[in-house]
């Protein structure tokens, strides 16, 4: 007997851990339960489980615009959570990179704080020629030189990614930026060539113009999507460690994303969901919807 969505596997979209016969999947979803990089409120280590719980609303659903159910078009698995060296930040980053390199198919990471993007980009280095274009939704630039005096944290991943040649800042965008930032970090980010799109620009210009700017900046280059849920206004996503007022609305995010199907996506992550600060699951629902929409983009292209 077919079970309702609230019953059954607690994986993303109730996906299996493996395909029949061990066949390689098109997409592998993993959790990164880690928040040692946070500078304010911790709790993003519980983000993967919250995103999986919220994803049951999309089980066997079809996207209204693309008319696809990604589970029917793409072969996908949820391999559970990556192993963590509890209490050891740098060791965990190395563990994440090693495990991510061993996965098959395009990887979708459920964070975790934003530092988990760095080992993900490092793991992808062997899969692409040259640096990736980064499409980065966030309230913060995350290009600080240090995280309150320490070299690694959720405010530093894209400084490292740029310096290591993992991403090409001149073909990368940061969308929804509005948080306070010191002048030195702000100047460094612009000097590298990052295209910084403030939240106010999204509100004033509208999703269609922002999507056009993303497509023009990325072009035909391979791209990676990283979405910090605090890019969304805290009125619609309160469950995060460093909320910033004046952010994007969920309808704007969805309108932008659904116009990015032509981009050569190579992976994504959704980070900074901290369910302890959430209300009625609205933050984890927003995060799960963004991931599902991304999977629908891939499915629509593959259809």
Higher confidence at residue 163 or residue 150? 163
Residue 90, pLDDT score: 94
H-helix segments, 112-206: 117-124, 157-163, 183-192, 199-205
196 pLDDT exceeds 80?
yes
Contacts of 291 (CB under 8 A, 6+ apart): 12, 51, 55, 108, 110, 268, 270
3-state secondary structure of 294: helix
Handedness of CA 115, 120, 125, 126 (dihedral sign): positive
Provide mean pLDDT across the span 139-146.
95
65 pLDDT exceeds 70?
yes
Listed range (3-12, 77-86, 238-247, 274-283) with the worst mean pLDDT: 3-12
117 pLDDT exceeds 90?
yes
The whole-chain average pLDDT of the chain stands at 96
pLDDT band at 1 (very low <50, low <70, confident <90, very high): low
Q: Is this structure's pTM higher than 0.95? A: yes
Each residue's pLDDT tens digit, 204-235: 999 999 999 999 999 999 999 999 999 999 99
27 pLDDT exceeds 70?
yes
C-alpha 38/C-alpha 113 separation (Å) is 7
Q: What is the second-level CATH architecture of the domain 12-302?
A: 3-Layer(aba) Sandwich (3.40)
């Amino acid at each position: 007997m077919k079970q309702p969505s609230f019953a059954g596997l607690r994986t993303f979209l109730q996906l299996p851990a493996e395909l029949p016969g061990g066949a390689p999947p098109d997409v592998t979803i993993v959790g990164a339960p880690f928040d040692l990089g946070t500078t304010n409120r911790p709790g993003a280590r519980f983000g993967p489980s919250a995103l999986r719980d919220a994803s049951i609303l999309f089980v066997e659903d079809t996207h209204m615009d693309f008319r696809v159910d990604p589970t029917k078009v793409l072969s996908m698995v949820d391999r559970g959570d990556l192993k963590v060296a509890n209490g050891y930040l740098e060791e965990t980053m190395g563990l994440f990179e090693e495990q991510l390199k061993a996965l098959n198919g395009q990887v979708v990471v459920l964070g975790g704080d934003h530092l988990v993007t760095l080992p993900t980009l490092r793991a992808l280095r062997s899969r692409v020629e040259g640096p990736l274009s980064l499409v980065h939704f966030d309230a913060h630039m995350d290009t600080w030189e240090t995280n309150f005096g320490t070299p690694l944290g959720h405010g530093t991943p894209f400084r490292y990614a740029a310096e290591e040649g993992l991403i090409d800042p001149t073909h990368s965008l940061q969308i929804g930026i509005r948080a306070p930032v010191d002048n030195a970090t702000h100047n460094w980010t612009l000097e590298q060539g990052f295209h910084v799109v403030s939240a106010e620009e999204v509100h004033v210009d509208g999703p269609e113009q922002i999507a056009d700017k993303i497509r023009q900046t990325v072009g035909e280059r391979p791209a990676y999507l990283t979405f910090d849920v605090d890019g969304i206004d805290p009125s619609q996503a309160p469950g995060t460690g460093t909320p910033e007022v004046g952010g994007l609305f969920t309808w704007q995010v969805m309108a932008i994303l659904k116009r990015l199907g032509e981009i050569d996506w190579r992976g994504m992550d959704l980070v900074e969901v901290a369910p302890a600060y959430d209300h009625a699951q609205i933050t984890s629902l927003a995060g799960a919807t963004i991931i599902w929409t991304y999977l629908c983009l891939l499915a629509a292209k593959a259809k």
